[in-house]
Structure 1
Amino acid sequence: MKLKAEVYTFVLLPVYLLMFVYSTLTFLPWYFLTNAKNRKAMAKRIKAKPVLDAPGSPYRAISHFDSLATIDIPGADTLEKLFQHAVAKFGTKDCLGTRELLSEENEKQPNGKVFKKLILGDYRWLNYEEVNTRVSNFGSGLAALGLKPRSTVAIFCETRAEWMISAQACFRYNFPLVTLYATLGEDAVAYGLNESGATHLITSAELLETKLKRVLSQVTNIKHIIYVGKKNIELLDYPADLQIHNIEAVEELGAKPENLNNPPCRPLPTDLAVVMYTSGSTGKPKGVMMIHSNLISGMTGQCERIPGLGPKDTYIGYLPLAHVLEMTAEISCVTYGCRIGYSSPLTLSDQSSKIKKGSKGDCTVLKPTLMAAVPEIMDRIYKNVMSKVQEMNVFQRTLFKLGYDYKLEQIKKGYDAPLCNVILFKKVKALLGGNVRMMLCGGAPLSPQTQRFMNICFCCPVGQGYGLTETCGAGTITEVSDYSTGRVGAPLSCCEIKLRDWVEGGYTNQDKPHPRGEIVIGGQNVSMGYFKNEEKNLEDFFVDENGQRWFCTGDIGEFHSDGCLQIIDRKKDLVKLQAGEYVSLGKVEAALKNCPLIDNICAYANSHQSYVISFVVPNQKKLTGLAQQKRIEGTWEEICNNPTMEAEVLKEIKEVACSMKLERFEIPIKVRLSPDPWTPETGLVTDAFKLKRKELKNHYLTDIERMYGGK
């Protein structure tokens, strides 16, 4: 073994020498040509500061310290005007693209299951003028079907071009849009449709035939359903008083001269634009009311943090459009002339589950320059790439690690490693098309390890954003020049953020070295509250003496000396153990997600007990390999239920917990391994892959009793 190691060291010596020589020769030209000195100064400068020199004072971005930004494009004070501005400016440029479906095949797996595989062609594009025509026709068609201005329209549909066309039509004709996640459970869908009072519903043929058909008996207001897709719907299967239309038929109706000549009722900035039902991590879904000026303000702040946003950019849309992150990202892209190519998590890359082996995923064909993601997807990419690295031979693995560590050191200094980008990371970068210049992550905290990995291997800035549906997705976004990790950036120009003392949790504005407390966001981006829920509005929203609206997030933050925010805890995740110790479940989960054996984890604690337990979705490849080492055989389910494997996972958990400096009482001492992943379809996580603690508790109730000695 010693001889083998010496041979590899000898072989790698020229590589070390090459990198040293390359770095020495190219550093100065690279330093001046890329303006590295200025970029480093930008990264280290003060980005936000308190308005007043007093504890608890709101922080504002330096760029808009005197007054908050509310609008970016003069005169465009509604979403309808934003789109009209884009059509006038970018008319014949590509706007919305969809891949052509060439064929479908059923592929039988070794375990007997049958997966549907797709063979997809090129993207087919609609330019801005063509989208505008469809928007006018569809809006006119909805009006011809009896929809009145300021009457709500529900949309329950997967992310696709027709979603955005429908939304723009509703904005133009002043029909408030009620959005529902395509993965919401049946009860939640029925609840949202009934509470909103929508009479018209836009959906897809697939969702109509699967989920909606079972829900309609519980819904009282829906009179018209407009569906997207080529499938013919058998009308006899639905109530006789329900009218069902294909979207093309509604557009044809709207294009008739007698309908198209009726001018739309244009919205005002104060008119309701969207009621967005959040899937929520607890209880029934809540409808968040956003007026046009709320969304305009939020997007103004967001776009300021994306340098060079414009017609040269291509954005890949695959996250749920019913999520505020994706909806505002796509509307912003359209506003600035970007083109949007539609995808899905199941067709995103060449290795995605619905892509037939040997054919191309959406990223490979589209080659996007901008991409949004949630931490769950980035964690998956990270673990998949690292798994492939482990399969390399010793020489390749050592070379990868050498390049990775070298670039890591360069990035920490604020520099780059162009040679590593070309030689080592080109293939990894190609997984997302090879052209991504910026990635934005939101929805939940992204681990520093994953963020740094994406920085290094995909050769682009990976920004974290922090915002909520209640603040129109706006709050903070890290700047592209900021090479730190674990933070979410400074307040956007559209809002200000203050920290409210939470004495019970031990967080105050007097804390050293930095002030800490509950994050409270104020500005025009703060929504008008929850639909028909005055009690919750009084609890979470307030208006100050200057007439500014504020939202109490329930998240705990810490402001660094440069004005950047770090999320460190959540009020609802805090549990007091029997002996009086406080445990932050979110903190425990964030630390333990660094364990290679873990794909997902939910920590659980009961105030009547003295220790923490956990539910874990293990990494199948890693755990199966470990089972083989321990000579444990059986199906995947049998491996997960094996007490020896539980003990092995707990052993790894303890090691990672100690390395992450968790307290003894924070470390889970019992575990339940789940053979099934947690997806939005299971109802155990939200569409942004946040844990639904109540549902997880109910799902694992028997295991909780077992782990706490009840059974």
Structure 2
Amino acid sequence: MKPKLNNQQTLFMILFKIIIQLYTWITLPLYFIIQQPWNHRRRNENNRLRIHRHESDKSDMTDIYIRNDSGVYDHPIFEQSTLTKMFQETIRINRHDQPCLGYRKILEEIPDEKSGGGKVRKYRLSSSYKWLTYMDVDKITNNLAQGLMANGVQKSDRILIFAETRVEWMICFQSILRIGSPIVTVYANMGIEGLKHGIEETNVHTIITSLNCVPMLMKTLNQSQQNSVKQVIYMDGDVGKKIIENNQQQSYPDANIDDPLVIMYTSGTTGTPKAATITQRQFCASIRALYTIVRNVAHSGPLHTYVSYLPMAHIMELTLEIFFTLFGVRLGYATPFTLIDSATGLAKGQKSDLQSLKPTIMTSVPLVLERILKQIDEKLRNTSTISQMAIEYLIDYKAHWTSRGYQSPLITYLISSKIREKFGGNLRVMICGGAALDPIVESRIRAALDVILMPGYGATETTGAAFCMDFHGLDYGFVGAPMGDVYFRLRDWNEGGYSVRDKPNPRGEILIGGDLIVIEYFRNSPLTSETFQTDQNGIRWFQTGDIGELYPNGYLKIIDRRKDLIKLQNGEYISLGKVEAALKRSQYVENICVYGHIMSDDLVALITPERNSLKQLAKDLNKSDDMNIQDLCNDKDIERTVYEDITKMAIQSLLGRKEIPRRIRLVPDVWSNETGVLTAALKMKRRVVEKMYRQQLADLYSNHDNNNIDANNNVAK
């Protein structure tokens, strides 16, 4: 919400904008000559695609496209045919004393009282990162692999890694890779039933876990009567010590390009958990695909530092860590609880992980970027009204000119560099995936932090990203072009009204093909046959269920999702994801679930509020200081103001009248992956929310025009 200005402040802002515009037009010729924006625009507008094959006999599909610079793999890593050999090659070509994997030692764990009577852990950490060199990693990895083999692990045995993101996760991954055993990954937020299902379905032989995950694992094993687990190994122990002492060495099995490497349970939001079987071939294809986008980073790896904090059981994080390790980039491990200065796990006086590590590359998901932007806005609200308005104007000003190929060095120096200090000061590249990124969030993050922000698009089924914006991309709201050796096409979706013959741009369901498509859903032939197809030329295709629009420069925009489409009683189709993305722009919205009943022609919404903004709103409305979060959510004045704000966001986003929720309910609960409401990629589990708030949804429809509606008839049981 923009602050209200008095007459003097309004006059100041008018004069301020006039001065900025005068400065712009006076200096524009100089910037035009020095920065040569036409070159940036030309690179941005060049078509990145070529037609791989015409499909004139299929009127409901586009031709098959591929990136026009695919096939340029000028690095020694690509002389190797398997991921196993690639890791051996990176040990050879990188300096043995070169830092590889880093972590902070926990010096003390402090229980801290939390409002509400609960406790939260706070940590005292080492001020600097401790680094393992490439030689250290090679030795530790070999010792662990030999230790596992001495404990009876064979190539055919499946090993579950069940732990939070940490340096030992990557070491275990590389160790098991040497043996050739398939690695099973399961998200902790799948719950005991999900973990039990994964252990039993894959017949896990060995489990490697951390002490933090032991309680849940033990409960699961106690409830499981059909598991094949022979041993549980703790990351915090000394696996391989016996091998070091006795100097025993066994030869490793030969690796094959089609060996199953990972059986990864997806972060899917509905139904029985499904696992994708990913072979060495798919991981190698994913490495090649990434290389076409960040080739310059790959050739200057030792100059970069990557911060790892997202779940390694998620395909995006795992593939990026593998890629950066192979090309000499330092990996520093962090946790969401100690990542930034305001993180809940930092004891008083402790530096955040970002301040200590000072990364140059960071991966994020849209929800995290939205939170970062809201934190920036919150800090601005703590300044004077004039300062807030001026800085917001300058950030929007920078975003505007950035999209036209210009840089704004003065704003970068005065504003962006100060904000970037919160991220360690060296951040240059942010990669974003996991869900659709709001163009406004994208433009403001790029401007505020002065970083290259690269949204991407992919899935577990595509072994990570299949599309990504490149370094030269200027446009907002796109996921880029297909990456190296990735095939793609669009197909009509008549029910949603999308066609490859639409003007000005073709639209339809996104189909992705190539070697990076996983071979199957583990032990689920019906779903495999339904989701994947192999054409007459041997290209394997994944039907994503997402709707895209293809632009002339080869960039793809995600515009809809089949599973998010609902049909209201009046016959109108509504994209829930599109509505939610628009309403999340409100400063009062932390997360939102829009819901439509099949017997109604209205939408309603459940909102988890952004708590600091809600408290400030209560203060502005002269509410009592004693109100807790439950009281704030139940207050009708607060609810009315929040509703007015999301309605304003809807209008600004050009939503139709029927796309705007008629009623809302503020809920005090925290939606997170720990509470089971969000996936590990921080995407909402829609059916879980609908089931959890079944009564509240029914109440939103009761005593209105549709007071005979029972939400239970339309909510997942």
TM-score when scaled to structure 1? Answer: 0.92
1:226 maps to 233
Partner SS, residue 390 of structure 2: helix
1:269 and 2:257 matched: yes
Output the amino acid matched with 1:82.
M
CA contact (8 A) 1:47 1:61 kept: yes
Q: Is 1:572 equivalent to 2:572 in the alignment?
A: no
Q: Which residue of 371, 376, 383 corresponds with 2:374?
A: 383
- State the distance in 1 between where 2:618 and 2:396 align: 31
Q: CA deviation at 1:473?
A: 0.7
Contact 1:69 1:493 (C-alpha < 8 Å) held by counterparts? no
Paired with 1:125 and 1:673, the residues of 2 have a C-alpha distance of 46
- Residue 256 of structure 1: how far off its partner (Å): 4.8
Paired residue type of 1:452: S
* Counterparts of 2:638 and 2:361, CA distance in 1: 41
1:596-625 CA distances to partner (integer Å, 9 max, x unpaired)? 211111111121222111111111122222
Instruction: State how 1:75-224 maps to structure 2 within 5 Å.
Output: 75-90=79-94, 91-109=96-114, 112-121=117-126, 122-208=128-214, 210-219=215-224, 220-224=227-231
Alignment of 1:507-546 (within 5 A): 507-546=498-537
Q: Which residue of 1 aligns with 2:46?
A: 45
Q: Is the 8 A contact 1:499 1:557 kept in 2?
A: yes
Match of 2:714 in 1: none
1:673 corresponds, among 666, 676, 688, to: 666
How many Å separate the matches in 1 of 2:573 and 2:354?
44
- Contact 2:78/2:86 (8 A) holds in 1: no
Looking at structure 2, the residues matched to 357 and 24 of structure 1 have their Cα atoms a distance apart, in angstroms, of 50
Q: Per the alignment, do residues 9 and 449 of structure 1 end up closer, same or farther by CA in structure 2, a change over 3 Å counting?
A: closer
1:392, 1:152 → 2: CA distance? 56
User: What corresponds to 2:334 in structure 1?
Assistant: 343
The code of the aligned residue for 1:59 comes to Y
Structure-2 residue corresponding to 1:302: 290
Q: Is the 8 A contact 2:291 2:484 kept in 1?
A: no
- Do structure 1's residue 290 and structure 2's residue 291 form an aligned pair? no
Against the structure 1 CA distance between its residues 72 and 509, is the aligned structure 2 distance closer, same or farther, given a 3 Å change threshold? farther
When normalised by structure 2's length, the TM-score is 0.92
Tell which deviates more after alignment, 309-318 or 663-672.
663-672
Report what 2:580 is aligned to: 589
- Of stretches 8-17 and 95-104 in structure 1, the one that deviates more from structure 2 is 8-17
Q: Which residue of 2 aligns with 1:242?
A: none
When residues 70 and 534 of structure 1 are mapped into structure 2, their CA distance, relative to the original with a 3 A threshold, is farther
In the alignment, which residue of structure 1 is the partner of 2:398? 407
Residues 1:646 and 2:650 are matched in the alignment: no
| Shift in CA distance, 70/694, structure 1 to aligned 2, threshold 3 Å | farther
The answer to whether the 8 Å contact 2:9/2:386 transfers is no
Other-structure match for 1:236: none
2:691 equivalent among 689, 692, 698: 698
Contact 1:70 1:524 in 2 (8 A): no
Question: What is the CA–CA distance in structure 2 between the aligned matches of 1:24 and 1:413, rounded to whole Å?
Answer: 14
Aligned with 1:492 (options 483, 487, 491): 483
- Judge conservation of contact 2:365–2:433 (CA < 8 Å) in 1: yes
Aligned-residue offset at 1:395: 3.6
Partner of 1:686: 679
Q: How far off its partner does 1:82 sit?
A: 1.1
Native 8 Å contact 2:286 2:463 kept in 1:
yes
Q: In structure 2, how many angstroms separate the alpha carbons of the residues matched to 1:4 and 1:389?
A: 16
Q: Which runs of 5+ in 1 are unaligned?
A: 230-245
Structure 1, residues 170-214: CA drift from partner, whole Å, max 9, x if none? 111101100112333111011101111011001101110x21121
1:103 partner amino acid: E
Give, in whole Å, the separation in 1 of the partners of 2:664 and 2:73. Answer: 48
Aligned to 1:232: none
Q: CA deviation at 1:19?
A: 6.8
Q: Is the 8 A contact 1:48 1:61 kept in 2?
A: yes
Letter in 2 for 1:253: K
Return closer, same or farther for 1:593/1:7 CA change in 2, 3 Å cut-off: closer
1:335-484 to structure 2, matched below 5 A, reads 335-484=326-475
Aligned CA distance change for structure 1 residues 423 and 577 (closer, same or farther; 3 Å): same
1:25 is displaced (CA, Å) by 5.3
Matched letter for residue 147 of structure 2: G
Helix, strand or coil for the counterpart of 2:160? strand
Contact preservation (8 Å) 2:77, 2:90:
no
Partner Cα separation in structure 2 for residue 102 and residue 431 of structure 1: 23
Counterpart Cα distance in 2 of 1:353 and 1:654: 32
CA distance in 2, matches of 1:52, 1:103: 60
Task: Judge conservation of contact 1:50–1:57 (CA < 8 Å) in 2.
Answer: yes
Instruction: Pick which of 577-586 and 40-49 moved more.
Output: 40-49
What secondary structure, in the 3-state scheme, does the structure 2 residue paired with 1:661 have? Answer: coil
Letter in 1 for 2:573: Y
- Please give the alpha-carbon distance, in whole angstroms, between the structure 2 residues aligned to 1:392 and 1:93: 44
Following the alignment from structure 2 to structure 1, what is the Cα–Cα distance between the partners of residues 487 and 73?
Answer: 11
Structure 1 415/72 Cα, relative in aligned 2: closer, same or farther at 3 Å?
Answer: farther
Partner SS, residue 604 of structure 2: strand
Would the aligned equivalents of 1:495 and 1:522 in 2 still touch at CA under 8 Å? yes
Q: Is the CA contact (8 Å cut-off) linking 1:448 and 1:485 kept in structure 2?
A: yes
Structure 2 Cα separation of the partners of residues 337 and 418 of structure 1: 31
Counterpart contact for 1:70–1:300, Cα < 8 Å: no
CA contact (8 A) 2:467 2:481 kept: yes
Aligned equivalents of 2:161, 2:143: Cα separation in 1: 17
SS in 1 for 2:255: coil
Letter paired with 1:344: T
* 1:59 CA drift (Å): 1.8
CA deviation profile, 1:453-497 (whole Å, cap 9, x unmatched): 111011111011101100101310001111101110011112111
**For the Cα contact (< 8 Å) 2:341–2:352, is it kept in 1?**
yes
User: Deviation of residue 405 (structure 1)?
Assistant: 3.2
Alignment-mate amino acid for residue 648 of structure 1: T
Q: Which residue of 1 aligns with 2:589?
A: 598
User: Deviation of residue 52 (structure 1)?
Assistant: 4.4
- The CA deviation at 1:517 is 1.0
- Mapped to 1, the partners of 2:373 and 2:275 lie a distance apart of 34
Q: Which moved more, 1:503-512 or 1:96-105?
A: 96-105
**CA, structure 1 residues 313+69, in 2 after alignment: closer, same or farther (shift >3 Å)?**
closer
Spell out the pairing of 1:14-33 with structure 2 (5 A cutoff). 28-29=33-34, 31=35
* Kept after mapping to 2: 8 A contact 1:49/1:562: no
Do residues 280 (structure 1) and 284 (structure 2) align?
Answer: no
Q: Distance in 2 between matches of 1:68 and 1:497?
A: 19
C-alpha separation in 1, matches of 2:607 and 2:391: 30
CA drift at 1:160: 0.6
Letter in 1 for 2:655: L
* Matched positions, count: 685
Q: Distance in 2 between matches of 1:472 and 1:525?
A: 6
- Once residues 490 and 574 of structure 1 are traced to their aligned partners in structure 2, the CA distance between those partners, rounded to angstroms, is 25
Which deviates further from its counterpart, 399-408 or 274-283? 399-408
* Aligned partner letter, 2:167: A
**Match for residue 661 of structure 1 among 641, 654, 657:** 654
From 526, 531, 543, the equivalent of 1:552 is 543
TM-superposed deviation, 1:83: 0.7
SS in 1 for 2:574: strand
